[in-house]
Structure 1
Amino acid sequence: MTAPQELRRAPVAVPAPDDDERARLLAEAARTIDAPGLVIALSHRGRRTFRAGGDALSGDGLRYELGSASKPFTGLLLAALVADGRLRYEDSAAALLAPDHPVHPAVRAITLRHLITHTSGLPSLPADFYPQALPRWSTAPYSHYPADRVVRAFLRARPRHRPGTRWHYSNFAVSVLGHTLAAATGTPWEVLLQQEVLDPLGLDGTRLRPGPPPGDAVGHRRDGRPLPALDTGGFTAAGAVRSTPPDLLTFLEAHLPSATAPTHPLDTAFTDVRRPLLRRGLRHAHTHTLTWFRHPSPRGPVCFHAGATLGQQMFLGFRPDTGTALAAMCTRRVHRTDPFIATVHELLTEKL
Structure 2
Amino acid sequence: MSISKETLLEMYKRMNQARKFEEKVNWFFARGMIHGTTHLSIGQEASGVAAVMALEKGDLVSLTHRGHSQFIGMGIDINKMMAELMGKYTGYCKGKGGSMHIADIESGNLGANGIVGGGLTLAPGAALTQKYKKTGKVVLCTFGDGAANEGAFHEGINLSSVWKLPVIFYCENNLYGMSTAQSKSMNIENIADRAVSYGIQSFIIDGYDAIEVYETVQKAAEMCRRGEGPVLIEAKTYRFVGHSKSDANAYRTKEEINSWKEKDGIKRLRDKILKLGFATEKELEDIEEEAKQSIEEAVEFAQNSPMPPLDTLEEDVYAD
Task: Give yes or no for TM over 0.5.
Answer: no
Which structure is higher in RCO with an 8 Å CA cutoff and minimum separation 6? 1
**TM-score, normalised with respect to structure 2:** 0.27
User: More helix by proportion, 1 or 2?
Assistant: 2
